[in-house]
Copies of this chain bind each other. A is one copy, B any other.
Amino acid sequence: MPHTTVPATQHIAFAELQDLLTQIFLRHGTSPEVAAILAANCASAQRDGAASHGIFRIPGYLSTLASGWVNGRAVPQVQDVAPGYVAVDAGNGFAQPALQAARSLLIEKARHNGIALLAIRNSHHFAALWPDVEPFAREGLVALAFVNSMACVVPTGGHKALFGTNPIAFAAPRAGDNPLVFDLATSAIAHGDVQIAARAGHRLPEGYGVDRHGQPTRDPAAVLDGGALLPFGGYKGSALAMMVELLAAALTGGNFSFGFDWSQHPGAKTPWTGELLIVIDPSKGAGHSFTQRTEILVRHMRAAGQDRQPGDRRYQQRAQSDRHGIAIGCEELARLRGLAAAPLPPAG
């Protein structure tokens, strides 16, 4: 999905963007801890070229915070439920601080038990999912994440939106290279990309969405205006989307994608659901080291003609951003700076 054309761009360093976003969050109702985590997450997406989850999301974050739908000062409550099971009540706050609060305990459990699970509930996830799994792979672990979102995907054979875009993310370490990481919506297209397409005036490919009457459409605006997305890959994607509802919501105690009502909170954009992570320590495995095996697989994928491995596009954009700075439209940057200059709210 090509990003929108802007008249002129400026390049800024990652740290500068992160600081700017931290100030914005701080001035719009989050605690310092939450501001730092959301800013790092959002700046990382922008740095890696994940346009639909970078600064494009800031207006949505701020309107949600202003609406009172999410608690930007929530302090996650971590529960050590069982030797391999950590649960977090995110307190109607964001999922990323909840993950951060449980992260060291989760890693400790995974290394001790061979596998461990993190169940986050009562949480809002408005970001890309790959940032939740990539760090585990950088510690030599294998990670899987599932998050449900908001009813916008029609199950196969059905006529009404029910599932969220319900992404699945996976990360596995390599020997001496960036991890293999994918983050795939179980919908035919990510909701953020429909918004990007609508803003850019692009049409969607065939089979991606339906309008408010359940009729196929290629118009992103019609999809956003009471329409819905379709699952990827037919009934298989639909089955995976169902699995994500069961893992991320039913198992964690979070809401289903159709299970919350934000009608009393105009401006609310962040789905109030749950997230499940599974982390595995591959050093418990038999035979050759896991990272060596990963290298063998990558070598064979290359030889079979798959030149770009999952995650590569982000790593290439990341390297470029690290060298030259992160490209941001000048108008957009001015808007961000304006938001960051708002008066600080009274300490609460």
Question: Which residues of A come within 8 Å of B, CB atoms?
Answer: 81-85, 87, 89, 112-117, 119, 121, 142, 154-162, 170, 172, 180, 182, 184, 232-234, 236-240, 242-243, 245-247, 249-253, 256, 258-259, 278, 280-282, 284-288, 290, 293-294, 296-297, 300-301, 303-308, 310
Using Cβ atoms and an 8 Å threshold, which residues of chain B touch A159? Answer: 304-305
Using Cβ atoms and an 8 Å threshold, which residues of chain B touch A308? Answer: 157
- Could you name 11 residue pairs across A and B whose Cβ atoms are closer than 8 Å? A84-B116, A113-B113, A115-B116, A115-B117, A121-B287, A159-B305, A184-B236, A233-B234, A238-B306, A251-B280, A253-B288
Extra pairs beyond A172-B246, A232-B236 (8, CB < 8 Å): A113-B116, A114-B117, A115-B116, A157-B308, A158-B305, A159-B304, A246-B297, A251-B290
Which residue of chain B has its CB nearest to the CB of A250?
B293
Which residue of chain B has its CB nearest to the CB of A157?
B306
Which residue of chain B has its CB nearest to the CB of A87?
B286
Is A113 a contact of B82 with CB atoms below 8 Å?
A: yes
| Candidates B233, B252, B290; contact of A286 at CB < 8 Å | B252
Using Cβ atoms and an 8 Å threshold, which residues of chain B touch A287? Answer: 121, 253
Is A245 a contact of B297 with CB atoms below 8 Å?
A: yes
Is B113 a contact of A155 with CB atoms below 8 Å?
A: no
Is A251 a contact of B285 with CB atoms below 8 Å?
A: yes
A154 to B293, CA, bound (A): 19
**Smallest CB–CB gap between A302 and chain B, Å?**
9
A281 to B87, CA, bound (A): 13
